[in-house]
Structure 1
């Protein structure tokens, strides 16, 4: 039987059969007329290798597996079960994060320049850009951890309280990275002490779009500040928020930002 005929019976292309032949999976003897004495055992060997290959076992590993006892195969399967379960866990977390991002996009597109009540989750933030930032080893380590764990972490923004209260003073803006406590727990991240924990709760969230977060002015925050005055809300701490996404708008690159005040 020629290789292409054997391949057709197997349901695969002849180049793959030749590859398996080179790897030693096929034992059929060569004939003088370019025919091979393929056997049903050759077909079984190939199908077995295909099955193991679908679980990421290499062809060489599948060849070795033919000489392994059941216990060794069971150990290999067990290790791959654990590995696949971990991959599934990460994919589930990624899916939840993508759904979070979808919700944020909806907020920006449907509630731009609006202020709305929102329930914020517990989170952790670290600041690595801004005039008040102090880069200690702990801060550097926190930044490294959160940068490695995007997209589960996010870009955070902080506007200093005193700079908001003093009319003649430019706003003091810092940016960094943050992560929701629930995502931190899912990932099992051990965060340095220097990272700041922010308790969740009811807030007023204001969505705005600016080309440069470090050039924020008091007028950019006026809608939120006016709403706080109307509700008799006294600002007692820095405004914390997120830079949800960056995109082009009317030919200008802008950052979609949500900043919030405690209710």
Structure 2
């Protein structure tokens, strides 16, 4: 039969049949009338190669597999299963991060209860831009590690306590990268000792949108400062938070930020 007819029987395009032929996967003998003597074995070889290809085995590997013992095939399958499990684990972490971001976006969009109480996880942060930025080999290494592991890490922001107490204009703002302890453990990251570890606990989180985080003033933080004062817990530490995402609002490019005050 012709290649086109064989391909239709297989349910694939003829170009794939020609490709498999060039790779030596099938042995359809050519006849004088330009027909090929394709056999059920050729069809089986192609289906088998497609099945293995669906698990990311290359055509060349599937060809090699024809000459391998069961133990060798089992070893390949086992290694691929481990690799796939690792991919699934990473995707699950990504999904949790996306859902976390969605919850914060919803708070911003609703514009209600913009100061809310949360239980915060332990986190690790480095500050490499702005006031109080630290530049040592250890910090630089931490920046590289966290940068390579986004979105499991995040953009961190810190506002110096003294600048808040003195009502400086603008406040002392630093940015960098951070990661939650649970994600650090899941990824088995080894961070340098210079990374700042922030203990968890009950916090008041304030969601705000600003066009320039480095020009923040106490007026921008007024709802958070007033709520802490009302609860008898005035700000006593640097404010630590995250920049969740940047976007357009009313024609202005803004950053969606969550800042935390200890309570």
Same fold (TM over 0.5): yes
- The whole-number CA distance in structure 2 between the counterparts of 1:171 and 1:113 is 24
Tell me what 1:131 maps to.
Answer: 131
| 1:105 CA displacement | 1.1
- What secondary structure sits across from 2:257 in the alignment? strand
1:26 is the counterpart of 2:54:
no
Aligned residues: 263
| 1:170 CA displacement | 4.0
Instruction: Tell me the C-alpha RMSD between the 2 structures.
Output: 1.4
- The whole-number CA distance in structure 2 between the counterparts of 1:126 and 1:155 is 10
Preserved contact between residue 112 and residue 208 of structure 1 (Cα < 8 Å): no
- The whole-number CA distance in structure 2 between the counterparts of 1:76 and 1:170 is 59
| 1:168 CA displacement | 4.9
- What secondary structure sits across from 2:176 in the alignment? strand
| 1:112 CA displacement | 5.9
Preserved contact between residue 117 and residue 202 of structure 2 (Cα < 8 Å): yes
Superposed, which structure 2 residues align to 1:87-98 within 5 Å? 87-98=87-98
| 1:134 CA displacement | 2.1
Preserved contact between residue 126 and residue 139 of structure 1 (Cα < 8 Å): yes
- What secondary structure sits across from 1:128 in the alignment? strand
- The whole-number CA distance in structure 2 between the counterparts of 1:223 and 1:150 is 31
| 1:158 CA displacement | 0.6
Provide closer, same or farther for how the CA distance between residues 169 and 13 of structure 1 changes in structure 2, counting only shifts above 3 A: closer
Tell me what 1:187 maps to.
Answer: 187
- What secondary structure sits across from 2:177 in the alignment? strand
Tell me what 1:81 maps to.
Answer: 81
- The whole-number CA distance in structure 2 between the counterparts of 1:262 and 1:65 is 60
| 1:75 CA displacement | 1.3
- What secondary structure sits across from 1:218 in the alignment? coil
CA deviation profile, 1:184-225 (whole Å, cap 9, x unmatched): 111111111111111111111111111100000121112221
Tell me what 2:177 maps to.
Answer: 177
CA deviation profile, 1:64-109 (whole Å, cap 9, x unmatched): 1111122211111111111111111111111111111111111221
- What secondary structure sits across from 1:75 in the alignment? helix
| 1:174 CA displacement | 0.5
Preserved contact between residue 124 and residue 198 of structure 1 (Cα < 8 Å): yes
- What secondary structure sits across from 1:256 in the alignment? strand
Tell me what 2:56 maps to.
Answer: 56
CA deviation profile, 1:108-140 (whole Å, cap 9, x unmatched): 212467212122111111101012212001110
Q: Which runs of 5+ in 2 are unaligned?
A: none
- The whole-number CA distance in structure 2 between the counterparts of 1:168 and 1:210 is 17
- The whole-number CA distance in structure 2 between the counterparts of 1:25 and 1:77 is 21
CA deviation profile, 1:137-191 (whole Å, cap 9, x unmatched): 1110111111111111111111111111113564111011111111111111111
- The whole-number CA distance in structure 1 between the counterparts of 2:246 and 2:210 is 9
Tell me what 1:246 maps to.
Answer: 246
1:155 is the counterpart of 2:159:
no
- What secondary structure sits across from 1:67 in the alignment? coil
Tell me what 1:70 maps to.
Answer: 70
